Amino acid sequence: MPTRIETERLAYDATGAPFSERYGDVYASRDGAAAQARHVFLAGNALPARWRDRAQFVIVETGFGLGTNFLATWQAWREDPNRCGRLHFVSVELHPVAAGDLIATAPAELQRLARELAPRWPLPLPGLHRIEFEGGRVVLTLALGDARDVIPQLVCGADAFYLDGFAPARNPQLWEPALIKALARLARPGATLATWTAARGVRDSLAGCGFEVELRAGFGRKREMLVARHAPRWRMRRHEPPAAYAGERRAIVVGAGLAGCHVAAALAARGWRIELLERGSSTAAGASSLPWGLLHPQVAADDSVLARLTRAGFVLACARLDAAGDDAGLRHPCGVLQQARDEDEAAAWRAALERLNVPAAYARWLDAGQAAAAVGVPPLRGGLWFERGALVAAQRWCRHLLDRAGAALLVRTGVDAARIECGRGGWTVFDSEARPIATAPVLIAANALDAPRLLGLRHAPVQPVRGRVSLIASEHLSGLRAAIAGDGHLARAPDGALAVGATYEAPVPGETEPRAVDETRAHAGNLQRLARLVARADDATVIGVFDGVRCVARDRLPLAGGVADECAALASNAALRGAHLVDLPRREGLYAAFALASRGIAFAPLAAELVAAQIEGEPWPLERALANALDPARFWLRRLRHPVVARPAGV
């Protein structure tokens, strides 16, 4: 069942304390919210002392509420000269308040930070929302959804827990033993926990999940509170949570397209030194040289994996482009209309907007007349309007990322990565003449169609799909001011150029290269797409072309994450036949980010953050189910589960 996020309408009780009518409880102690945060959650977890001089520290919270605990923790981090290098704060919330409420309710000493948080407050959409502060050194991951669904899907190693839901009697779901058990699976060795309640049921659940529990003096009118330390006396989980990376921060990235540039930038922002190897003569070549690409998400009635992934990618890409600023010239914020194919699809989309309670600022339905007013020309039919949809300059974005990485990045073009080998110094790349090119502890293959060969992947079914975009002239389209997507796309670049496309020229079965299509036929196909997007464009003439080749996986989703050790998996084939992706052995220090297909603008930042989080042992930016959908080993696992049985000769 798709998650429906309903915002909380804040109320106040007779004393003026922020109050939830939904749960019949106050958000924090009437004796002072900031003081409670410091006494219960910071002091209860021995903070800031425990994070001092550490590269990374991760806090997981149940119940973000008004954000007081996060703001107080952020303030303590800022004031600590020996603070950790990177503070991650992961918080779950089912009913977020409005951005203005964060400021209205923030204690005076936290007002400044609340005013930094409010403008970046996400739309009420289910999933993980990553918000960065302090140049990326403080990261809030706001998980919007039911904690019972969200927490089992989190992938992170927690150093401290804040349990801060409404009272167990008012909101028992947030204190269920199953939820405590799911939290315990995230605990790193020695992880601590604090909560304002001393309820016996909570104590027993914690003790049963391997926590050593202690009663302490509570805050204000609360006589007692609980603190705990995770110290199980027996093995309670099959897999340990991610540990913080402790090696040398040097990496090789092979491939300098959208995927490779985003990976390099993500690691450089975390203090890594990167060698970026590109076979071509320049960066951002091939499909990544597209002058302007569409950025918009998908919506589905069942909130499908694709809808959730494109939502996560869209939100993250928008945040990255916001951070770059308008002066960078990376984005043309024109809006995007996704046109329905027929009335059945239109009805399904309208139902999805209602079922998921999608905010209009994210997507709303426009009928044909409303769509014409938004787009500037009459479309063939109505569709979904994405206000923040945009055209993005892919090549310019790549080069912006490389420029920002500065001295942390060494770009080497004209380098052919023919082979890789793991040795004592990590991963070494060799050229076609068997000469070593570069060595580093970590290597990420982002070189599109050549990545499976370089990584030695037996089952990574990708294929080249040629795409041609026709540049056109048309008086009937002179009023176009937004992009239209559907059966193809139509857009006007900031310089006035009109483009319609794109062809999808895939190899026929049994061949490995796209079958050549005559350019005249390719343009004719694009003009047919144009006729299915707008009511009138019969005067359109072709004046140019953009030609590129996409790397597309069989399921049209990227391959992003750690690379499986296929040889070790084969050796344990029988044991792994019923395995999950988390059970597969991995090749230490080897990662992939490729096959972005037609959604590179949305998927490149997301794939890069996922890979960087896995390398660093940080909280992942995606739920496990979504990360599994991108796992480079997903095709290999299917082969292990369903081995091909060779037929006897002559049969």
Q: CA-CA distances (angstroms) from residue 563 to 137, 309, 552?
A: 27, 20, 18
How do residues 502-535 score in pLDDT, each as one tens digit?
A: 999 988 776 667 766 789 999 999 999 999 999 9
Is pLDDT of 646 > 50?
Answer: no
Burial class of 328 by CB neighbour count within 10 A (0 to 12, 13 to 18, 19+): middle
The overall average pLDDT reported for the chain is: 94
- AA identity, residue 369: G
Mean pLDDT of 332-337: 98
The Cα–Cα gap between 540 and 470 comes to 10
pLDDT for the residue numbered 67: 97
Compute the CA torsion angle 403, 408, 414, 417 (nearest 10 deg): -130
Is pLDDT of 647 > 60?
Answer: no
How do residues 275-297 score in pLDDT, each as one tens digit?
A: 999 999 999 998 888 889 999 99
b/e string for 351-360 if b means 16 or more Cβ within 10 A? ebbeebebee
The Cα–Cα gap between 429 and 279 comes to 13
Burial class of 567 by CB neighbour count within 10 A (0 to 12, 13 to 18, 19+): exposed
Q: Which residues pair with 61 in a beta bridge?
A: 91, 162
Tokens 């407050």 correspond to what residue?
A: 121
Q: Give the range among 308-312, 580-584, 619-623 with minimum mean pLDDT.
A: 580-584
437, 415 Cβ separation under 8 angstroms: yes
Burial class of 518 by CB neighbour count within 10 A (0 to 12, 13 to 18, 19+): exposed
Is pLDDT of 39 > 70?
Answer: yes
Q: Identify the band that residue 644 occupies on the pLDDT scale cut at 50, 70 and 90.
A: low
Q: Is the pTM higher than 0.75? A: yes
Residue ranges of domains in the chain, CATH in brackets? 11-230 (3.40.50.150), 250-285+395-461+556-641 (3.50.50.60), 292-392+462-507+514-553 (3.30.9.10)
**Beta carbons within 8 Å of 500's beta carbon, 6+ residues apart:** 469, 470, 472, 488, 489, 490, 526, 527, 529, 530, 533, 540
The Cα–Cα gap between 454 and 448 comes to 10
Cis peptide before 48 (omega within 30 of 0): yes
Is pLDDT of 387 > 50?
Answer: yes
Higher pLDDT, 454 or 636: 454
The Cα–Cα gap between 604 and 155 comes to 20
Give the 3-state secondary structure of residue 434.
coil
How do residues 439-492 score in pLDDT, each as one tens digit?
A: 999 999 999 999 999 999 989 999 999 999 999 999 999 999 999 999 999 999
Is pLDDT of 572 > 90?
Answer: no
How do residues 110-134 score in pLDDT, each as one tens digit?
A: 999 999 999 999 999 999 999 999 9
Among the listed residues 537, 535, 544, 526, the one whose alpha carbon sits nearest the alpha carbon of residue 474: 537
How do residues 202-215 score in pLDDT, each as one tens digit?
A: 999 999 999 999 99
Q: What percent of the chain has pLDDT over 70?
A: 97
**Beta carbons within 8 Å of 183's beta carbon, 6+ residues apart:** 60, 62, 151, 158, 161, 209
Identify the sign of the CA torsion 322, 327, 328, 333. Answer: positive
Q: What percent of the chain has pLDDT over 90?
A: 86
- AA identity, residue 575: A
Higher pLDDT, 640 or 6: 6
How do residues 136-180 score in pLDDT, each as one tens digit?
A: 999 999 999 999 999 999 999 999 999 998 889 999 999 999 999
The Cα–Cα gap between 25 and 66 comes to 13
394, 331 Cβ separation under 8 angstroms: no
How do residues 20-32 score in pLDDT, each as one tens digit?
A: 999 988 888 888 8
Burial class of 69 by CB neighbour count within 10 A (0 to 12, 13 to 18, 19+): buried
Q: CA-CA distances (angstroms) from residue 461 to 53, 287, 475, 503?
A: 44, 19, 43, 21
* 43 secondary structure, DSSP code: G
Angle between helices 600-616 and 258-268 (to 10 degrees): 40
* 324 secondary structure, DSSP code: H
The Cα–Cα gap between 278 and 291 comes to 20
Higher pLDDT, 252 or 513: 252
Give how far the C-alpha of residue 77 lies from the chain's centroid of Cα atoms, to the nearest Å: 25
Strand ordering across the sheet containing 498-501 = 364-366, 383-386, 336-339, 483-486, 488-492, 498-501, 462-473, 541-553
